[in-house]
Amino acid sequence: MRVTEYFDIAIVGAGFAGMDMLRKSREMGLSAVVFERGKDVGGTWYWNRYPGARCDVPSMEYSFQFSDELQQEWEWSEKYATQPEILQYAQYVAKRFDLKRDIRFDTIVLSMHYEETESAWLVTPSQGPAVRARFVVTAMGCLSSTNRPRFTNDELFRGEVYHTGEWPHSGVDFVGKRVAVIGTGSSGIQTIPMIAQEAKHLTVFQRTPAYTVPAHNGPLSPQYVQSVKANYADFRAKNMKTRAAIGGDTPTGTRGATEVSNTELNEILEARWAKGGLLFLGGFNDAMINGASNERIAQWVRNKIGSIVTDKKIAVRLQPHTVIGCKRLVVDSGYYETFNRDNVELVDIGLTKIDRFTKNGLVANTKEFEFDIIVLATGFDAMTGSLLRTDIRGRGGQRLADAWSAGPVNYLGLTVHGFPNLFTITGPGSPSVLTNMIVSIEHHVEWIARCIHYIRERKALSVEATREAQNQWVEHVNAIAGMTLFPNCNSWYLGDNVPGKPRVFMPLPGFPDYVQRCTAVESENYRGFAFSN
C-alpha cells in the first residue's frame, strides 16, 4: 500500500457537509483532505439534475449561516430554489472559501481501515495514493446511493433509462417522446409535471400514492429578502427552535386535530394549504403522534385531491390511505393537476408490480406499454447506503456492515462504538433528514470540531463511544420513534424501500432536544466517550 500523505482529517464527500467540515478544519489549523465521487462540489445537488428538482426547504433557510458576509451577499431568486441555483450556491461557497484545492474529485473512497498501532485511519481511494488520517469524517449524504431496482428482463429495453439521482449532465430531451416514470415519491412528483409538458405521452407507474402539498413557488420579494437579511441571526435562531429546524415564522398549532370542529379544521388546513410547503402538518400539534388526528388531516387532503383531479376515478387512485407524513410529505408544483392533461396516464402497480421489461417498453397488469424513455424515480438506499457500500473497518478489523447488520447503532448519530475517531455527519440516529439538512450539518460540524479540539487539548490519540452509551442512545432513538406514527408505513426512513434492509426508523425526530443532548454530553466532558492516550 502506497501511503504518501498524512492528514489530521480525511473527509468523504464534498456536498454541503464535506465543504463545511473542510472549511472548519482549516479554521482550526488542521490539515484536511476531501474525497469526492463527483467532478464538482454539491453532493445531492450535483447528482439530482432531473427537470423540476428543487429543495423542499425555503431558500432563505437552506444556506450556511457560519458566515454573515456569505448569507448577506448570496441572492436566492425563488421561494424554493431549483437544483441549478443550489448547485451554483455550492460552487460559489467553494470558490469564496477556496475549498477546491483540498478536494480530490472523481475519486471514490474504496475503504477506510482503522489502524490501532497508529491510532489513525488508512483511507484508500479509487485513484491516487492512500492517505493516513487521525480522524475521518463521513459527509456522504443521506440520499446519495440510488435505489435501482432490477426488473425482469430490464436489460432487453432498447430505449433510454435514467435514474433521477444520476441524471445526465447533458439533460434529456423528452419532446415528442413516449415516456414512463416509475415511482411517485418526491423526485417523481417533482419531475412528472415537467416531463408532461414536453413528452408526447407520459405514463406514471404508481406503487403507492403519495401525499403532496403545493409549494406555491414564485420569485422572492426584495422586501421579504431584505427583512430576513436585516435580522438573519434572529431568523436562524427562531428556525432552530422548531422541531425540524424549519419555519420559525410559522408556529405549530396549539391544539390537536381531533380537538377542533369541522369548520375550524377546514380553516386551519386551508390556510396551511394556501401557504404550502412541508409545514402543512404543523397546523396541529399532534399530527404525527395521534392516529385519529392524522386520519382527519389525511381525509381532508384526500378531499382536496378529489377537488383538483377532474376524472373522479383517477382522483380516487391518487388518494393515499396511509398515515399522512409517515412517508416524507412531498412539496409539489402542479402534480395533481398534471393528471388532468390528455397526454398523462396513471397505471397502478401497487398490487401487481411491473411484470417485466421488453425491448420496446414494459409489461404491467398484463398490458404491454411502449416507451422511448423510462425514468426511474425509485429513490435511494437512504442514510446508511453510502456508508455501508464503503469498506469501513474499525478496531480489530470489525466491519461497519457487520456492526450494523441489524440496523445502524451509534451514539448521538455521530460516532460508533468500535470505530474510534470516526464521525458521521447527519448519521442515522440524529435528526438529519427530518430537519433542514444544512442546519443539521452545521451543528454536527461545530460539535465535531469542538470534540477534536478537546481531544487535542488533552493530548489523547483517540475518542470512541462506549458500548453502554451507544446502547442507551439506540434505546432513546427507538423510544422517540415509537411515540410517533412514523413506523406505521413503508418508507425510506425505515429502509422499507430496499429489499433485505433491516426495518429500523433511522432519523431521530426533534432537533432542539437533540441539540440539548449533544450539548449536555459535551459539557459533561464528553460523557459516554472513552479517550485513549
Residue 50 or 300 with smaller CB distance to ligand NA7: 50
Nearer to ligand NA7, 431 or 528 (CB): 431
Q: For the chain, first and last CA: distance in Å? A: 27
Grid cell for residue 499: 429489499
**Number of chain positions touching ligand NA7 (CB under 6 A):** 22
Q: Does 440 bind ligand NA7 (CB under 6 A)?
A: no
Distance CA 364, CA 256 (A): 42
Say whether 2 sits in a helix, a strand or coil. coil
One-character DSSP codes across 225-264? HHHHHHTHHHHHHHHHTSTTS--TTSPPPSS-TTSS-HHH
Q: Which of 364, 377, 403, 469 binds ligand NA7 (CB under 6 A)?
A: 377
State the nearest-atom distance from the C-beta of 364 to ligand NA7, in Å. 9
Min dist. Cβ of residue 189 to ligand NA7 (A): 7
3-state SS, residue 533: coil
Give the whole-angstrom CA distance, residue 184 versus residue 182: 7
- Vertex 134: Cα angle to 440 and 424 (nearest 5): 25
Q: Which of 188, 214, 247, 418 binds ligand NA7 (CB under 6 A)?
A: 188
Instruction: Single out the segment in contact with ligand NA7 by CB under 6 A; choices: 59-67, 339-347, 375-383, 450-458.
Output: 375-383
Of residues 34 and 387, the one with the C-beta less far from ligand NA7: 387
For residue 157, the minimal CB distance to ligand NA7 (Å) is: 15
Q: How far apart are CA 389 and CA 141, in angstroms?
A: 13
Q: Is 342 exposed, middle or buried (0-12, 13-18, 19+ CB in 10 A)?
A: exposed
Which is nearer to ligand NA7, 82 or 462 (by Cβ)?
Answer: 82
Nearest CB to ligand NA7, comparing residues 247 and 418: 247
Please choose, out of 2-10, 122-130, 234-242, 371-379, the segment that lies near ligand NA7 by the rule CB under 6 A.
371-379
Q: Within a 13 Å sphere around the CA of 112, how many CA atoms are in the beta-carbon half? A: 30
| The C-alpha cell that represents 467 in the structure block | 458500548
Residues from 159 through 178 that contact ligand NA7 (CB under 6 A): 164
Window 469-498: residues binding ligand NA7 (CB under 6 A)? 490, 492, 497
- 3-state SS string for 291-336: HHHHHHHHHHHHHHHHHHCCCHHHHHHHCCCCCCCCCCCEEECCHH
Give least dist CB 166 to ligand NA7, A: 11
Q: For residue 322, how many C-alpha atoms fall within 13 Å in the half-sphere facing its CB?
A: 23
Minimum distance from residue 497 beta carbon to ligand NA7 (Å) = 5
185 binds ligand NA7 (CB under 6 A): yes
Strand partners, 114: 121
Is 296 a residue that touches ligand NA7 (CB under 6 A)?
no
- CA neighbours within 13 Å on the CB side: how many for 87? 18
Q: How far is the CB of 19 from ligand NA7 (least distance, A)?
A: 20
Residue of closest CB approach to ligand NA7: 185
Among 59, 83, 124, 184, binds ligand NA7 (CB under 6 A): 184
* Smallest distance from ligand NA7 to CB 468, Å: 33
Tell me the per-residue interface mask from 143 to 162 with ligand NA7, x by CB under 6 A, - otherwise: x-----x-------------
Sort 223 into a burial class: Cβ within 10 Å, 0-12 / 13-18 / 19+. Answer: exposed
Check if the beta carbon of residue 43 is closer than 8 Å to that of residue 15.
yes
Check residue 378 for interaction with ligand NA7 (CB under 6 A).
yes
Applying CB under 6 A, among 107, 186, 424, 484 the residue interacting with ligand NA7 is: 186
Rounded CA separation 151/369 (Å):
15
* Sequence-distant contacts of 195-199: CB under 8 A, at least 24 apart: 195/51, 195/52, 195/375, 196/338, 196/341, 196/343, 196/344, 198/173, 198/174, 199/174, 199/175, 199/343
Using alpha carbons only, what angle is made at residue 416 by residues 412 and 420, rounded to the nearest 5 degrees?
120
Measured CA angle at 359 (ends 358, 360), to 5 deg: 90
If the CB atoms of residues 125 and 188 are measured against ligand NA7, the closer one turns out to be 188
Q: Which span (113-121, 153-161, 180-188, 394-402) binds ligand NA7, by CB under 6 A? A: 180-188
Stretch that binds ligand NA7, among 99-107, 109-117, 181-189, 438-446 (CB under 6 A): 181-189
Question: Taking CB under 6 A as the rule, does residue 462 contact ligand NA7?
Answer: no
Q: Is 483 exposed, middle or buried (0-12, 13-18, 19+ CB in 10 A)?
A: exposed
Nearer to ligand NA7 by C-beta: 208 or 290?
A: 208
Touching ligand NA7, residues 206-235 (CB under 6 A): 207-208
User: What minimum distance in Å lies between the beta carbon of 276 and ligand NA7?
Assistant: 16
Query: Which segment (85-93, 182-190, 247-255, 283-291) binds ligand NA7 by CB under 6 A?
Result: 182-190
187 near ligand NA7, rule: CB under 6 A: yes
Binding residues among 334-363 for ligand NA7 as defined by CB under 6 A = 349, 354
Of the pair 36, 381, the CB lying nearest ligand NA7 is at 381
Q: Is the CB of residue 485 less than 8 Å from the CB of residue 323? A: yes
Q: How far is the CB of 377 from ligand NA7 (least distance, A)?
A: 5
Decide the pairing of beta strands 32-35 and 103-104.
Answer: parallel
Residue 530 phi/psi, 5-degree rounding, is -110, 135
CB of 26 to ligand NA7, least distance (A): 30
Contacts (CB under 6 A) with ligand NA7, residues 105-144: 143
Does residue 508 interact with ligand NA7 by CB under 6 A?
A: no
Binding residue (CB under 6 A) for ligand NA7 from 49, 134, 177, 328: 328
The contact set with ligand NA7 (CB under 6 A) reads 143, 149, 164, 182-188, 207-208, 328, 349, 354, 377-380, 490, 492, 497
